[in-house]
Chain A
Amino acid sequence: MTEVTETRLPGVGVRHEFTSAGGERLAVLVLRTGRREIAVYDRADPDVCTTVLHLSSDDTRTLAELLGGGMVSEAVSAVQRLEGVTIDWIRIRERSPQVGATIGERQLRTRTGSSVVAVVRGDETLPAPGPDFVLEAGDVVVAVGTPEGLRQLRDLLDA
């Protein structure tokens, strides 16, 4: 996978930047408000963005699906029709204490009430991981639960 640089924007969110194979510099901004922005940098002046796309959470899902997150997002749209049940993606960071731990030994479901329904690793989607599934850095955990449970799960995984 391409190397992604992460920059904090205090009070605003997080910026993930990378250079595409074609030499274009891109950034995905994950804002606290839940919105996303995609910024494309000027080739001549890397300090400036030439294009900025503003995406609502719906737009983000659509775009992700178009870009090939298909399997996961089908599961999402099915789940999101249920009231009170939410789905969330949580990325396991490089330095996360969860790297190398299994889902079972962290008792994620017991402690937060949220279930891990899939793990996205690189280009692969691994559906329904069992309790002996080992988490790796860069994995994106897809979990279903109540908003509160998912918040707790995020606190656990994102620490």
Chain B
Amino acid sequence: MTPVLAAASADAALAFIEIGAVALVLSVLARVAGRLGITAIPLYLLAGLAVGEGGVAPLDVSADFIRLAGEIGVLLLLLTLGLEYSPDELRHGLRSGAVPGIVDGVANFVPGLVIGLVLGWEPAAAALLGGVCWVSSSGVVSKVLADLDRLGNRETPAVLNLLVIEDLAMAVYLPVIGAIIAGTGAGDTIETVAIALVAVGLILTVAMRWGDHLSKLLAPASDEALLLAVFGLTLLIGGLAEKVQVSAAIGAFLVGLALSGSVQARASAVVRPLRDLFAATFFLFFSFSVDPGDLIGVLIPAAVLAVLGIAGKLISGWVAARSLAVGSPGRLRAGAVLIARGEFSIVIAALGATTVDGAELGALAAAYVLITAIAGPLAAKYADRIAEVIPHRT
């Protein structure tokens, strides 16, 4: 054994034990979530509270490792969110779903923004809260649709199209909000926002027009080579994006959007296990920094936001399904399945971790995701029964 390894081994042994124990706990939580038919994200967040500062079993030596792994987790999470849709689906979604998309944005972003301002937060933090409230969890929504055998339903294309629009909206929202947080003075902010928008426009154009070439370049690679190429590209572009004040997460998201064709499907298949590992670490790490005490303090605003968030998605789903001439029970189903928020909300809250209101924003986002991620799948399951109870006005 080399001296370096020998010296590190005492710490390493402890770190291995901690990380191993945490991973096993997460695995149990993932199984429990699977049984309950919900996403594991809220359970990961609760686990993070338990092992974070002020929790029941705070981690010691492995905290640094978990931080770095968590940050890689965000990049991989956004990479796979970008990979989810092909450029073709994005174009098609934009054409057919602009109106429901706008309704969705207004009905869900504005309440968060207003509550943030009412709480006396800075406008940037309030805008982040708007984002937290806005985006449905595409992971939860597609899983719930599949689990409830609703993929064939008439309202389903409307629901999925809305997710595509939200994905696209994030491609603009994330860099802008990232730049606003990074900028200090008003002039600075305008400059960084402009840089961010130009960068995003450039990458999107390149992706839409020449994404094929990137994909062709990667196509002959074996799974192993492809995994390394995609992983490397994601971290590299993420790092470069961070350098020009566009958050690394956004760079990774755009890499995902740029990959297309058969490479897209293969890339998402090879990256998925890695993503699951690192993303779980990210959710854990996110709630590390949330003080359980803060969580109790934000319960009331979180409950208010959750009610508004549920109402907002019911409106979005109603409008989106109506555009396909679906009847009112179907419109209600569409809204209910969209209620769950998840990965995007936590990523957005994490962007604001360094702001003055970051701690409160983190706690509020955690509570909000906890409520909606559990309420969403339940509401979706019982939507038809709820529709029967509601008086038939239409």
Question: Which residues of A are in contact with B by a Cβ distance under 8 Å?
Answer: 7-13, 15, 27, 29, 31-32, 37, 39, 41, 45-49, 52, 148, 151-152, 154-155
Contacts and interface: CB of A to CB of B under 8 A. Distances in A.
A134 B313 CA distance: 50
Closest A-B pairs by Cβ, 9 of them: A39-B152, A47-B330, A52-B149, A10-B89, A47-B154, A151-B262, A49-B152, A11-B84, A10-B164
A155 B261 contact: yes
Contacts of B234: none
Contact of B152 (A8, A15, A154): A15
B151 interface: yes
B329 interface: yes
A41 B265 CA distance: 30
A11 B89 contact: yes
A11 B85 contact: yes
Given A10-B164, A47-B329, A155-B262, A29 B152 contact: yes
B327 A10 contact: no
B326 A47 contact: yes
Contact of B164 (A11, A27, A47): A11
Interface string B48-73: 00000000000000000000000000
Interface stretch (B155-163, B185-193, B362-370): B155-163
B163 A10 contact: yes
A31 B151 CA distance: 10
A12 B161 CA distance: 11
B93 interface: yes
A148 B261 CA distance: 12
A39 B163 CA distance: 23
- Which of B153, B219, B261, B330 has the most chain A CB atoms closer than 10 A to its own CB? B153
Interface in B85-114: 85, 89, 92-93
B265 A32 contact: yes
A9 B160 contact: yes
Given A27-B152, A45-B327, A48-B330, A8 B89 contact: yes
A11 B167 CA distance: 11
Nearest to A35: B146
Interface residues of B, number: 31
Given A8-B157, A9-B157, A45-B329, A29 B89 contact: no
B160 A148 contact: no
Given A37-B152, A47-B155, 10 more contacts: A7-B157, A8-B89, A10-B92, A11-B89, A29-B151, A32-B265, A37-B149, A49-B152, A148-B220, A151-B219
A41 B326 CA distance: 14
A7 B152 CA distance: 10
A47 B327 contact: yes
A66 to B, nearest CB: 21
A9 B159 CA distance: 9
Contacts of A13: 151
A32 B145 CA distance: 14
B137 to A, nearest CB: 13
B142 interface: yes
Contacts of A49: 149-150, 152-153
Nearest to A15: B152
Contacts of B93: 10
Contacts of A154: 262
Contacts of B153: 47-49
A148 B330 CA distance: 41
- Which of B84, B152, B154, B326 has the most chain A CB atoms closer than 10 A to its own CB? B152
B163 to A, nearest CB: 7
Interface in B141-181: 142, 145-146, 149-157, 160-161, 163-164
A20 to B, nearest CB: 15
